[in-house]
């Protein structure tokens, strides 16, 4: 995706570290929903890192299917009734789940846009068994169609890439603002607890992830 190897390695490191963090959170979480959500995020980061190096191209359809299923899972959480406390119950949680469904969808879309497409061509070549035989009318050698495949990149819309780049750039800025607002101050009131490190880490990871998505979609605008 990137011509500069240093950028590719940097993004790979960021994605793998983020995936490791989500995997660690999945092992520490007590709720099954949190375990599933963090595991899906870890998987998404690993798949995006693999996409940077064009690894496992034979499993692209499986990757897209898994990410699409993950997007549906987050949508279900975002629109679930308030009675389901284990899902996204409050408005903040619903908005977060809907955003995560967007990231999963865009990750699947990105993989699909970068995936090779198999095209089928038909060529006419002499059949082995009939090469020497003559036809009854024109005495030409019989020919059989041979199916061949060629790899070509899936066409992608630069306008869509620009739109998604703008969306994730805005998302990164929003999460940076949330991160700065949740920064503990020296004059913390004793009656109010300082923001939990996990919340600040989550905002930082969301901002970093959105920035990576914006950068990767930006490469598809040309």
Q: pLDDT tens, 168-187?
A: 999 999 999 999 987 664 54
pLDDT band at 157 (very low <50, low <70, confident <90, very high): confident
Sequence length of the chain is 222
**Most trustworthy range by pLDDT among 68-72, 115-119, 154-158, 178-182:** 68-72
Q: Which helix (H) or strand (E) holds 126?
A: strand 116-126
Q: pLDDT tens, 42-65?
A: 999 999 999 999 888 889 999 999
pLDDT band at 117 (very low <50, low <70, confident <90, very high): very low
Instruction: Spell out the domain ranges in the chain.
Output: 1-115, 123-149, 156-186+193-222
CA distance 13 to 75: 29
Closest by CA position to 48, among listed 74, 13, 22: 13
Given this model, what pLDDT does residue 222 score? 76
Which residues in 136-217 belong to E strands, given as ranges? Answer: 143-153
Q: What is the DSSP string of 148-161?
A: EEEEEEPP--HHHH
Given this model, what pLDDT does residue 116 score? 52
pLDDT at 133 over 70: no
pLDDT at 164 over 50: yes
Give the tokens for residue 155.
């066409």
Residues paired with residue 147 on neighbouring β-strands, in sequence order: 122
CB 210 within 8 A of CB 172: yes
Any idea which residue has 């090779």 for tokens? Answer: 116
**What is the pTM assigned to this prediction?**
0.75
Q: Which residue has the higher pLDDT, 132 or 5?
A: 5
Mean pLDDT score, 110-127:
55
**Most trustworthy range by pLDDT among 126-130, 180-184, 213-217:** 213-217
Q: pLDDT tens, 9-22?
A: 999 999 999 999 99
Any idea which residue has 């969306």 for tokens? Answer: 167
């Amino acid at each position: 995706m990137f011509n500069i190897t240093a950028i590719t390695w940097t993004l790979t490191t960021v994605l793998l570290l983020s995936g490791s963090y989500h995997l660690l959170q999945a092992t520490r979480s007590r709720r099954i929903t949190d375990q599933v959500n963090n595991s899906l995020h870890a998987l998404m980061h690993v798949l995006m890192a693999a996409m940077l190096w064009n690894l496992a191209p034979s499993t692209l359809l499986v990757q897209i299917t898994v990410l699409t299923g993950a997007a549906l899972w987050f949508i279900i959480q975002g629109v679930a009734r308030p009675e389901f406390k284990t899902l996204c119950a409050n408005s903040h949680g619903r908005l977060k789940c809907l955003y995560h469904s967007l990231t999963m969808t865009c990750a699947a879309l990105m993989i699909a846009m970068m995936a090779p497409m198999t095209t089928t061509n038909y060529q006419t070549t002499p059949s082995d068994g009939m090469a020497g035989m003559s036809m009854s009318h024109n005495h030409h050698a019989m020919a059989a169609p041979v199916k061949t495949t060629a790899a070509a990149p899936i066409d992608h819309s630069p306008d869509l890439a620009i739109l998604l780049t703008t969306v994730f750039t805005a998302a990164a800025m929003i999460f940076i603002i949330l991160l700065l607002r949740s920064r503990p101050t020296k004059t913390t009131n004793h009656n109010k607890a300082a923001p939990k490190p996990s919340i600040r880490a989550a905002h930082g990871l969301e901002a970093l992830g959105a920035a990576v998505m914006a950068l990767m979609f930006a490469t598809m605008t040309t």
